[in-house]
Amino acid sequence: MTTPDTLALELTPPPGGQILHQTERATIIWGDCRDPQIIASVPDWYGLLCTDPPYGVAYNSGRSTTFTQIAGDDGSVDWPAVLGQWVGPEGTYTRGLASKRHVYVFGYEAKDLAGPMRLGGNAELVWDKAMCGMGNLEQPWGPGHERITFAVHIKQKAGRTAGDGRLSARLRKGSVLRYPRPNADGAKRHSNEKPVPLMADLIESSTVRGDLVVDPCAGSGSTGVAAVLEGRRCFLVEIDRANAEECVRRVQAAELIADRIEAA
Ligand SMILES: C[S@@+](CC[C@H](N)C(=O)[O-])C[C@H]1O[C@@H](n2cnc3c(N)ncnc32)[C@H](O)[C@@H]1O
């Protein structure tokens, strides 16, 4: 007997989460990323934190009947503090994200993330969606972009104060990234699904093959799909059961492609 996904939406993940998928390329956990047991299970000194947490705006355009409200989107969660745990909290030097490696966080400003995430140099990127979203229908301007904060994680406070994290990049690019929103089929997966080519651009700019890319709020799994297709590994956590299962389906498909490319 199979369980319909619609029932799964009602489920709460167990303490410590549940591993839904684990291979050499990917780990996908159905769980709450605030759970200390899950945070402790992330391999130390990983290569990139790339995430799109809830924005604390109770997202709902008022038009959609397809999606329920995004979990953790009601403003009750201090997301910069949660992400601080994922990179390794103040006073820890070997845990979490490796020092001088990068973070990308959608929707939040560097000034709010810098303290809890121990960030040095940073830059604001703009995702140009190449279309106008719904937003407030009483205004003449609809949202056509989202902010992405790029920054360098520096574990030593002295290093941050001295300005560490001013990178000499391999290839410098403009800060506006134009990638169309996923099409109607894609949008059926998740109300906030990010385009895989956008995620691949971020991942490719900040990691090398084999690096581990972490996304604690994985949604439908675009970060993981891009990481696997780029020859990186991914560690994903998602609290909503149906979304977590979607991550598994999409990442498995990406793994098949990556296997074929490597075998060719
Ligand atoms: C903005 S969406 C991410 C969308 C994703 N970037 C994509 O392309 O599909 C944020 C996700 O975080 C998940 N989330 C909210 N609270 C969480 C928590 N405590 N632990 C893990 N995931 C959580 C939500 O269920 C939602 O799917």
Structural domain contains residue 8: no
Three-state DSSP at 264 gives: coil
- What per-residue confidence (pLDDT) applies to 143? 87
Helix (H) or strand (E) holding 94: none
pLDDT, tens only, 200-225: 999 999 999 999 999 999 999 999 99
- What per-residue confidence (pLDDT) applies to 64? 46
Ligand 1: centre distance to CA 71 (Å):
7
Please report the atom of ligand 1 found closest to the CA of residue 216.
21
- R_g of the chain computed on alpha carbons: 18
pLDDT, tens only, 110-149: 999 999 999 998 999 999 999 887 778 888 888 899 999 9
Please give the Cα distance from 28 to 245 (Å, whole number). 9
Identify the band that residue 62 occupies on the pLDDT scale cut at 50, 70 and 90. Answer: very low
Identify the band that residue 159 occupies on the pLDDT scale cut at 50, 70 and 90. Answer: confident
Which of these ranges, 2-6, 42-46, 97-101, has the smallest mean pLDDT?
2-6
Nearest to 258 by CA among 23, 19, 21, 20: 23
Structural domain contains residue 5: no
Q: Is the CB of 193 under 6 A from ligand 1?
A: yes
Structural domain contains residue 9: no
Q: Whose CA is nearest to atom 24 of ligand 1?
A: 71
Q: Is the CB of 118 under 6 A from ligand 1?
A: no
| Phi, psi (rounded to 5 degrees) for 163 | 90, 15
Structural domain contains residue 152: yes
Structural domain contains residue 2: no
Structural domain contains residue 244: yes
Structural domain contains residue 4: no
Burial (0-12, 13-18, 19+ Cβ within 10 Å), 183: exposed
Q: What angle do CA 240, 209, 200 make, to 5 degrees?
A: 50
Give me the domain span that covers residue 192: 14-263
Determine the residue type at 148: I
| Helices marked H in 12-120 | 36-40, 79-87, 110-117
pLDDT, tens only, 161-192: 776 655 555 668 899 999 998 875 555 678 88
Structurally, the chain folds into a number of domains equal to 1
Region of residue 100 (left: phi > 0; alpha: psi -120 to 50; beta: else)? left
Q: Whose CA is nearest to atom 27 of ligand 1?
A: 219
Determine the residue type at 199: M
Please report the atom of ligand 1 found closest to the CA of residue 32.
20
Asked whether the CA dihedral 171, 86, 119, 113 is positive or negative, the reply is positive
pTM, two decimals, is: 0.89
Kindly report the CATH number assigned to the domain that includes residue 41: 3.40.50.150
pLDDT, tens only, 85-99: 999 988 888 999 999
Mean pLDDT of 236-244: 97
Ligand 1: centre distance to CA 75 (Å):
14
Structural domain contains residue 3: no
Q: Is the CB of 199 under 6 A from ligand 1?
A: no
